[in-house]
Structures are given as C-alpha cells and as structure tokens.
C-alpha cells in the first residue's frame, strides 16, 4: 500500500487503521490485538503504520475517545427520565462490549505507551463527553453535579471491570464453565451494573 500524500488520503488511511483495529478487538479483545495484526488487515508494513499512529496503544486510545463520543451521543437523548434510569445506563454500556473493554484497558495499558501529547488530547476529548453526560444526569435524575460525576465515573469504571470478569463466548474459560458450571461466578455485565447504579441513585436521593 502506497504512502498517503494528501491530508485527505492520510485521514482515510487513519480511518482504515482504526476500522481494522476495531474489527479485530471485537473478534478477540483489545489485549490480544497486536500492531502486526492490524497492519496485516490494512495491508501495510508495521513500520509504515507508525507514520499514522505512534504505537498500537495510540490506535486503541483513539477508539476509546470514539467510544465515549458515541455512547454520550446515544445516552443523552435516550435517558429522558429517572424511570428505569439505572437499567438504561447499564444496558447501554453492556451493549457496547468493545467500549467496556477499552474503558478497562485505557488506564491500565493504553495511556502508558503513548506520548504525553496523545494522553492530553485524549483526556481533553473524554472529559468533554464526561461533562456533557454529568450535566444530563444532574438534570434528569435531580442530583448534584458531584453526584452525577460520581455516578458517571462509577458506571463506566464498573462496566470495564465487570466486562473483564465476564465470560466471553468461544474462549477456553467458556468451555471450562460449560463443562463445570459449578465453577462459574456468573458475572453478567448488564444486570450487575444495573443493580450497582440503582443502589447509588437511591443512596444519592436519600442524602439529598
């Protein structure tokens, strides 16, 4: 594949790289996808990809920002009342397994192998979405700004953690738990997260 010469061609190449990484991560997991894997799908040499992204972690950090933007854009118009708010928030996250995976991987791995400039830019973009979500939760649930921020932070943090604890279809663990169901912890992201969020909301209302 030839090197992109124009700004438009460079952007198209970057989007192709992101799309390949997204597809691979959905099929496997973020942790298991290498730069070589992405390069093979895009049809580029690994060294050539470094003209567009400084590391594999920067690729997935960009997908993390993309995930925040997409989730925020869905949640705000769809969470319109406090009725079943916990379930709506929880299911919206559980329905986005790649985003949940990225939420867990970002602080543990992705932010640790990129430049400070990349971390700064991703943080600014994510915090913009956090601010929008926080403001929306504050209004819809009639809670304080700090409570809304705590709720958004806990929901996304727990979504990432619970997703990592859940059993993915097609894995060796899934086969083990099918053969020995007594060993399975039974982590289901949506229901578990919904109960955690509902408890938080109830507690906040009692305090107010």
Considering the chain, what is the average pLDDT of its residues? 92
Which CATH code is given to the segment(s) 1-53?
1.10.10
Take residue 65 and report the two structure tokens written for it.
């920002």
pTM of the model: 0.89
Q: What's the CA angle centered on 110, arms 17 and 30, to 5 degrees?
A: 60
Place of tokens 């279809």: 169
Q: How far apart are CA 13 and CA 48, in angstroms?
A: 11
The pLDDT tens digits of the residues spanning 170-204 come to 567 777 777 887 776 667 899 999 999 999 999 99
> What are phi and psi for residue 109, nearest 5 degrees?
-130, -50
Topology of domain 56-207, per CATH? Tetracycline Repressor; domain 2 (1.10.357)
Q: Where are the domains of the chain?
A: 1-53, 56-207
Say if residue 4's pLDDT is above 60: no
Render pLDDT for 37-65 as a digit per residue (tens, 0 to 9): 999 999 999 999 889 999 999 999 999 99
What residues contact residue 206 under an 8 Å CB cut-off, 6+ apart?
Answer: none
Nearest-CA neighbor of 207 among 142, 161, 129, 124? 142
């Amino acid at each position: 594949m030839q090197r992109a010469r124009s700004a438009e061609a460079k952007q198209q190449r970057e989007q192709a790289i992101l799309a390949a990484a997204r597809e691979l991560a959905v099929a496997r997991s973020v942790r298991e996808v290498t730069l070589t894997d992405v390069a093979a799908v895009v049809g580029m040499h690994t060294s050539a990809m470094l003209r567009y992204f400084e590391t594999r972690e920067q690729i997935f950090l960009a997908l993390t920002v993309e995930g925040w933007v997409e989730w925020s854009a869905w949640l705000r118009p769809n969470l319109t009342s406090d009725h079943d708010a916990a379930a709506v928030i929880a299911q919206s996250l559980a329905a986005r397994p790649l985003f949940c995976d990225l939420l867990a991987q970002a602080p543990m791995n992705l932010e640790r192998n990129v430049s400070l400039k990349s971390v700064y830019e991703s943080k600014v973009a994510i915090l913009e979405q956090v601010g929008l979500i926080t403001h929306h939760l504050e209004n819809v649930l009639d809670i304080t700004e700090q409570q809304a921020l705590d709720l958004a932070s806990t929901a996304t943090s727990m979504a990432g953690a619970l997703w990592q604890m859940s059993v993915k279809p097609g894995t060796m663990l899934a086969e083990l738990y099918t053969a020995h169901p007594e060993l399975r912890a039974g982590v289901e992201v949506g229901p578990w997260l919904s109960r955690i969020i509902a408890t938080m909301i109830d507690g906040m209302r009692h305090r107010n």
